[in-house]
């Protein structure tokens, strides 16, 4: 695991207007992705056991009058819990930590953001204040710096393997797609691929937020992902369900 001159004491910038514009673009684009339009109620925070010591946590924000889900992942180890990304509903930062402590009797020791959008980075300051090491790629940090957004304390430049409590977590940058900086995480012990927003759920009828996307490069990025991890047991997209077939579905959406 590399420690590339970690930055400490990073501060918020003055980019409120840009954040609002980005969030509006995100919500408007998600509204056309086929999200359920009913009045079904969801818990504010849902934690689902995936396999082994891996859990998916889901929060919702209202989109076009209906709740729209966002996924993150966490891994429980004997040395603490590694949380990937952030709750979409920012009121659920503390409930997530409280639930982890109550359920697993472990504290969060690491948080990894998979790209610079707020639904992935918004909890970086929260986790850092609560004693977790926060990580992102240097490219993600550059985009966050430009936007005055939340930034990780520690940075890595290349594909990196973290080892925590006997578990290996491999980061992989397959190329541009949903954003210029999107990475995925591979949990080899359980053959779980966390695709984040690069990968679209089979529920999705569209590509979602394209404000920072490279749609031209995205298909080859997905093929690179397939070559790197040809037979994952699970693929977790950034939003909606994690049924089998999400990588192929993403490629089909890109062909439209």
User: What is the reported pTM?
Assistant: 0.84
| pLDDT tens digit sequence for 100-152 | 999 999 999 999 999 999 999 999 999 999 999 999 999 999 999 999 999 99
pLDDT band for position 41 (50/70/90)?
Answer: confident
Mean pLDDT of the chain: 88
Q: Which ranges of the chain does DSSP label H, i.e. alpha helix?
A: 16-30, 93-104, 118-121, 124-129, 138-147, 218-228, 246-255
Other CB atoms closer than 10 Å to residue 245's CB: what's the count?
11
Q: What pLDDT score was predicted for residue 13? A: 43
What is the mean predicted confidence (pLDDT) over 30-59?
76
Give domain status of residue 7, yes or no: no
As a whole number of angstroms, the distance between CA 23 and CA 15 comes to 12
CA distances from 71 to 96, 110, 120, 136, 234 (A): 12, 17, 10, 18, 14
- The whole-angstrom separation of Cα 250 and Cα 245 is 9
Residue 43 CB burial class (10 angstroms; 0-12, 13-18, ≥19): exposed
Residue 6 domain-assigned? no
Residue 35: pLDDT over 80: no
The CATH number of whichever domain residue 45 belongs to comes to 3.60.15.10
Give the rounded percent of residues in the chain with a pLDDT score beyond 90.
80
Q: Does residue 174 form part of some domain?
A: yes
pLDDT of 7 higher than 80: no
| Residue 38, domain member (yes or no) | yes
Q: What are phi and psi of 8, to 5 degrees?
A: -120, 155
Tokens representing 23 are 């969030």
Which pLDDT score, from 0 to 100, does residue 253 have?
Answer: 98
For residue 142, is it within any domain? Answer: yes
Domain count, the chain: 1
Q: Is residue 172 part of a domain?
A: yes
- Domain with 225, as residue range(s), is 16-255
What is the per-residue pLDDT across 188-201, written as a single tens digit (0 to 9) for each? Answer: 999 999 999 999 99
Structural domain includes residue 221: yes
Res. 24: pLDDT tops 70: no
Q: Quick one: pLDDT at residue 63?
A: 81
Of residues 236 and 21, more confidence is placed in: 236
* Pairwise pLDDT comparison (19 vs 62), residue with the higher score: 62
Please provide the DSSP assignment of 23-38 as one string: HHHHHHHHTTTT---S
User: What are the phi and psi torsion angles at 46 (to 5°)?
Assistant: -125, 130
Confidence of residue 40 (pLDDT cuts 50, 70, 90): low
Contact 1, 162 (CB under 8 A): yes
């Amino acid at each position: 695991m590399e420690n590339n001159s970690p930055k400490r004491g990073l501060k918020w910038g003055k980019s409120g207007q840009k954040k609002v514009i980005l969030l509006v673009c995100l919500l408007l684009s998600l509204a056309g992705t086929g999200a359920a339009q009913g009045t079904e109620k969801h818990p504010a925070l849902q934690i689902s056991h995936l396999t082994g010591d891996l859990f998916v946590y889901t929060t919702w924000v209202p989109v076009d009058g209906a709740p729209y889900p966002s996924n993150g992942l966490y891994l429980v180890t004997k040395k603490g819990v590694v949380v990937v990304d952030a709750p979409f509903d920012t009121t659920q930062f503390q409930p997530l930590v409280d639930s982890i402590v109550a359920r697993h009797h472990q504290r969060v020791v690491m948080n990894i953001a998979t790209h610079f959008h707020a639904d992935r980075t918004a909890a970086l300051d929260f986790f850092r204040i609560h004693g977790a090491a926060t990580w992102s790629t240097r490219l993600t940090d550059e985009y966050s710096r430009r936007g005055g957004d939340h930034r990780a304390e520690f940075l890595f430049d290349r594909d990196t393997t973290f080892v925590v409590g006997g578990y290996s977590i491999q980061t992989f940058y397959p190329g541009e797609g949903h954003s210029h900086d999107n990475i995925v995480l591979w949990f080899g012990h359980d053959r779980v691929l966390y695709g984040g927003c690069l990968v679209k759920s089979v529920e999705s009828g569209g590509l979602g937020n394209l404000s920072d996307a490279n749609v031209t490069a995205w298909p080859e990025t997905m093929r690179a992902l397939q070559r790197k991890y040809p037979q994952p047991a699970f693929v977790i997209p950034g939003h909606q369900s994690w049924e089998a077939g999400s990588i192929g579905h993403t490629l089909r959406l890109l062909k439209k």
